[in-house]
Amino acid sequence: MSREDYIAVATRLFAVYMLFAAIGQIPGMVVGISQPGGQTWFWLYLLVVAFSLCLVGLLWFFPLTVARKLLPVMREPRSEQALDAPTAFSIGITLLGLWFLATGLADAVYWLTFWLRLGQADAFELELTNDQVAGMVTTGVELLIALVLILGSSGIRRLIYRYRYGRIEATDGREPSPVSRSGRNDG
């Protein structure tokens, strides 16, 4: 795969993410429109949804064009050496970890701001709602998953290979060794 192909795949994944984000905003828009005075916002909501769907269509149907516009022109000849499957798999796991980290950090900033503002308030007996507690736990788990994916991508790749194929792929070019169920090397 060329570098344009990688960016094209990422572009399509981002288009899917944007589509789900746009669909997720529709219930809030409906509630906003149904409120008194919400009819004045109807056209703005409709314009935002239409723009989002046009952007999703552009990213989905023209990913190579977007990739060529995003990537800089290379003046030196590019390397034709392709990534092997285990390396690409490890890179993919790390990128998923970065995605979780970006989402988790945004949520963590929200909850940190929440606690700072709570400390400034004069409310001594404040009970957290179940949604707030669940949101805080979700943010913590999200950050934990992100760290595991980023820092342990090669270990996760070996674990997946082990349970999928019953062996661990050798990364140094040697033939993979058989692994028993107990995890010890038999040969």
Q: What is the pLDDT of residues 83-123, one digit of tens each?
A: 677 777 777 777 788 888 888 888 899 888 888 877 776 65
Q: How far apart are CA 149 and CA 155, in angstroms?
A: 9
Q: Does the pLDDT of residue 141 top 70, yes or no?
A: yes
Q: What region does 37 belong to: left with phi over 0, alpha with psi -120 to 50, or beta?
A: left
SS3 177: coil
Q: What region does 123 belong to: left with phi over 0, alpha with psi -120 to 50, or beta?
A: beta
Q: How far apart are CA 6 and CA 55, in angstroms?
A: 19
The 10s digit of each residue's pLDDT in 6-33 is 788 888 888 888 888 888 888 888 888 8
Q: Does the pLDDT of residue 54 top 90, yes or no?
A: yes
Question: Which residue ranges make up each domain of the chain?
Answer: 3-70, 85-165
- CB 29, CB 73: distance < 8 Å: no
